[in-house]
Amino acid sequence: MPTMGIPVAEQWWRPFRGIGAAEVYFVDLSPHAVREASASAWLNEQELARADRYLYPGPRRRYILLRAAVRSLLCDRLSCDNAELTFESAEHGKPFAVVRGTPADIHFNMSDSGNGGLIAVTPEGRIGIDLEERTENRDLAGLAETVFGQEEQAALAAADGRDRVERFYRLWTYKEALLKALGTGLYLDVSGFQVPAAILSGEACAVFRFPHMPDVRWWIEDIGTEDFAAAIAHEMAEESEPDTLGSAGAGRAGV
């Protein structure tokens, strides 16, 4: 396995956004034989075996390119060789980095859809990120009834046409990012909490609290572009600035 980072000129990812202490990178997951070969060399035996289990080349390619990008970014941040970096999983499957047998003091999350991916890295606070290609070939109304609360469903129903698609994916990515940050996956009922009222009113960012853990604050922000919908959720430090969004910013999560 490589012992030094992939040269900048050969990287298939680039800085995308800085949000507080977090850095977000966009990853190009489109077909590219040279990049795929380079990426494969960064994966360990277990990761290569997982890649081989994908039935179709698209998902296999995206997994290899995204995983290698995560490895290179973390090696740079942690000043370690790739061979010294491994991954373990928390109780509900969220991965964390381990260097020379010791859990690393870093948090990361990744997401991909289509030929694009995002990686979020931060030295402090749990973090989650979600990216989705917008498509109308889904039962948006049916999905909304399953994953959205009443106020979120009402906000979606108030939109028409393309605006409805945009709003659906905006709400969807917020909630996915929050679930991924918390690290419980589907063990937490996604319809059991709602995004803050400020978000439903059109704000791009807000402070959020889960109803079952009101003392923990999360910063959520829309980071989508014309090409994809995306959102980030980052746990806020206890000593950070108090809420500036008032009761709306505190969230409607079961309040």
d(CA 125, CA 115): 28
End position of a domain, from candidates 101, 124, 147: 124
Where do we find the tokens 């490895």?
A: 71
Element housing 190 (H / E)? none
> pLDDT at residue 54 above 70?
yes
Query: According to the model, what pLDDT value does residue 247 have?
Result: 30
Residue 131 in domain: no
Euclidean distance between CA atoms 74 and 79, whole angstroms: 8
**Nearest one of 124, 115, 123, 160 to 141, comparing CA atoms:** 160
**Cα 207 to Cα 220: distance, rounded to the nearest angstrom:** 6
In the numeric block, which tokens belong to residue 2? 């490589």
Last residue of a domain, one of 83, 101, 124: 124
Q: 242 pLDDT exceeds 80?
A: no
pLDDT number for residue 63? 98
Tell me: do 224 and 144 sit in the same domain: yes
CA distance 255 to 252: 5
Residues 13 and 120 both lie in one domain: yes
Give the whole-number percent of the chain exceeding pLDDT 70: 91
Name the band, by pLDDT with cuts 50, 70 and 90, for residue 248: very low
Handedness of CA 243, 144, 89, 55 (dihedral sign): negative
Q: Hey, what are 16's tokens?
A: 């995308």
Give yes or no for residue 250 having a pLDDT over 60: no
CATH of the domain at 240: 3.90.470.20
Query: First vs last Cα of the chain: how many Å apart?
Result: 50
The arithmetic mean of pLDDT across residues 55-61, rounded, is: 96
Q: Give mean pLDDT, residues 118-131.
A: 97
Cα 255 to Cα 119, 155, 182, 249: the distances in Å are 32, 18, 19, 12
Q: What is the pLDDT of residues 13-30, one digit of tens each?
A: 999 999 999 999 999 999
- Name the amino acid, one letter, at 139: D
Same domain assignment for residues 95 and 159: no
Q: Is residue 244 part of a domain?
A: yes
Domain of 94 in residue numbering reads as 8-124
Record the pTM: 0.90
Write the pLDDT tens digit of every residue in 152-206: 999 999 999 899 999 999 999 999 999 999 987 656 788 889 999 999 999 999 9
Q: Identify whether residues 32 and 112 lie together within a single domain.
A: yes
19 assigned to some structural domain: yes
Query: 158-170 burial by CB neighbour count: b if 16+ within 10 A, else e?
Result: eeeeeebbebbbb
199 is a domain residue: yes
- Asked if 188 and 182 touch (Cβ cutoff 8 Å), the reply is yes
